[in-house]
Chain A
Amino acid sequence: MDAQWLAMPILQQLNSGVLVLSTDYHICFYNQFIERRLGVPLAEVRHKSVFDVFTDLPEAWLKRKLDSVVALNAPVFSSWEQRPYVLKLPHLRPISNVSDYMIQNCSMLPLLHPHTGETFVCLLIEDATDVSLYQQELQRNMQALQQANRMDGLTQVFNRSYWEQLLNAEILRARRYHQPLSLILFDLDKFKQLNDIYGHQGGDYVLVELSAFIQSLLRESDLLGRYGGEEFGIILPNTGQQGASEVAKRICRQVAAHPLHYQQQDIRATISLGVAELNPHRQQDVHDLVQCADLALYLSKREGRNRSTSYRDELRHYLQKITESAH
């Protein structure tokens, strides 16, 4: 069979746009795919400049691409991810609101006329509207997944592993930009007792309500995470020990003054806090900083709970003394 006759019908019915331009950007041909969507018969615009027919074409951008196809006799591509569309054409999904126009991948290919040797550029337009929809959906899901991966399922504050990553990053940043950084660790007082009185659901309720309440007391830049059980941490970027200590005292006070209503009862919960500042002269890592805050927290507990303690090096000697006297 002579297959020559096939070329034109297939070219016309192809589910991709084919647009052929001369080296001076005049339209030589486009197929039905483009003709129908543009709504202008080819005969009307043949030999007209593509920039007069398709308004809103990025002229400098397109000329640069077309020129390079001709000069280098090599193809050039445009992906929808970088430029959603080249030709402003409607898409056949009017319901979806992702874009008003057809999202496209475009290949620009050099064509040599077999007889005259003249160069033309063929723009192949592929509809990527569906792909871009799926991609957006995927991205949304990925974001949700990532969010879920970072959050504590119960309290909806950051989980330990992500919070520690954040702390690590903040330590590096504070060092690089010579900014202060403080850390508050706190613990819900007598959590075991709460669980005994109100049951585990009551205990969980307290954790959830307190997390939300404390979150509401913080600045946007402060990072609250659940460290484990009833222990939490707050990273305070760009905050020195004194500022952090004031924040800790305020949180302590407001928590104590904030009754939680659970099954027609008021639960009075208190917390104990420990504050530590990143020491700029010492190479501290996450572990060291957490240890300092934890030591201060321990002393808050020991001194009778519902209070805040700031870490000082002397605390170590004090702690040593009291543990020795205990033996």
Chain B
Amino acid sequence: MAMLSADQQDALQELMNVAMGMASDQLARYLNTLVHLQVPAIRLVQPSDLLAQLEPDDAEHQRQVVSQGFIGDAGFQGEAVLFYQLSNARQLATMLGYPADDANDAEMLTDISSILTTTFLNSLGGQLSAQLSYSAPRLLSDQQELLVQRIETPGWRAALQVSIHYQVIDYAFQCEMVLLIPELGLQTLQQRLDAILLEY
């Protein structure tokens, strides 16, 4: 799956590192706490890899999946899909000021993922000179079959998996973000990366 040249991949990794740095700084200020970040590991993935993500760690811990579309001025577009565990999200929710007994998990999950997705993609888009707008996040976990179908449809050309690991003081929040990018979005991404590479 050599969608990106080695140079392009290196450039993208660097842009994502910077985006992640900005996003964690924003989050840290917002949560008023320290957020340690690790370098996001980036890899191009196949549909089968994504399906493996959906496998529950055990019966009681179903993976939560939230999807959010994004589109920028220059045709940079795609869908960001976040995978994480409910128990993991609850702690972050508490820090974000959600009442502990809030029964509305769906809203908490979509809020958290919207925050993680948009802070990261805003920073990434900024570096690619693409201002992004977003669709409302949607919880897909309860529509597993639909999701599997969606993943197996070859409508997207590239899927970039960005493993994000946030360490907030005494607990770790871990999630996988996958950027599904269709043909058009991929072309724009490559053009932007080439332009950046040419600039230096």
A contacts B directly in the complex (CB < 8 Å)? Answer: yes
Q: Is the beta-carbon distance between A72 and B26 smaller than 8 angstroms? A: yes
Stretch touching chain B among A24-32, A76-84, A244-252: A76-84
Q: A64-B96, A77-B137, A107-B136 are in contact. Are A72 and B118 (CB under 8 A)?
A: yes
Q: A72-B26, A72-B115, A74-B114 are in contact. Are A83 and B107 (CB under 8 A)?
A: yes
What total of A-B pairs shows CB separation below 8 Å? 50
A142 to chain B, nearest CB (A): 13
B86 to chain A, nearest CB (A): 16
CA gap between A64 and B94 in the complex, in Å: 12
Residue A203 CB within 8 A of the other chain: no
Residue B161 CB within 8 A of the other chain: no
Q: Is the beta-carbon distance between A74 and B119 smaller than 8 angstroms? A: yes
Residue A68 CB within 8 A of the other chain: yes
Residue A239 CB within 8 A of the other chain: no
Residue B29 CB within 8 A of the other chain: yes
Residue B176 CB within 8 A of the other chain: no
CB within 8 Å of B: which of A79-130?
Answer: 79, 81-83, 105, 107
Q: Is the beta-carbon distance between A81 and B118 smaller than 8 angstroms? A: no
Report, as a range, how many residues of chain A touch the other chain: 10 to 19
Residue B154 CB within 8 A of the other chain: no
Residue A71 CB within 8 A of the other chain: yes
- B110 touches which of A64, A68, A79 (Cβ 8 Å): A79
- Chain A residues lying within 8 Å of B134, measured Cβ to Cβ, are 75, 77
CB within 8 Å of A: which of B121-173?
Answer: 122, 133-134, 136-138
- Chain A residues lying within 8 Å of B29, measured Cβ to Cβ, are 71
Residue B30 CB within 8 A of the other chain: yes
**CB nearest to B32 among chain A residues:** A71
Q: List 26 A-B contacts (CB under 8 A).
A: A64-B96, A64-B97, A68-B96, A68-B111, A68-B115, A72-B26, A72-B27, A72-B30, A72-B119, A73-B26, A74-B114, A74-B118, A75-B118, A75-B133, A76-B111, A76-B114, A77-B110, A77-B114, A77-B136, A77-B137, A79-B136, A81-B106, A82-B106, A83-B104, A105-B136, A107-B136
Residues of A whose CB lies within 8 Å of any CB of B are: 64-65, 68, 71-79, 81-83, 105, 107
Across the A-B interface, the 10 shortest Cβ-Cβ residue pairs: A74-B118, A77-B136, A82-B107, A71-B30, A64-B97, A72-B119, A72-B26, A82-B106, A74-B119, A75-B134
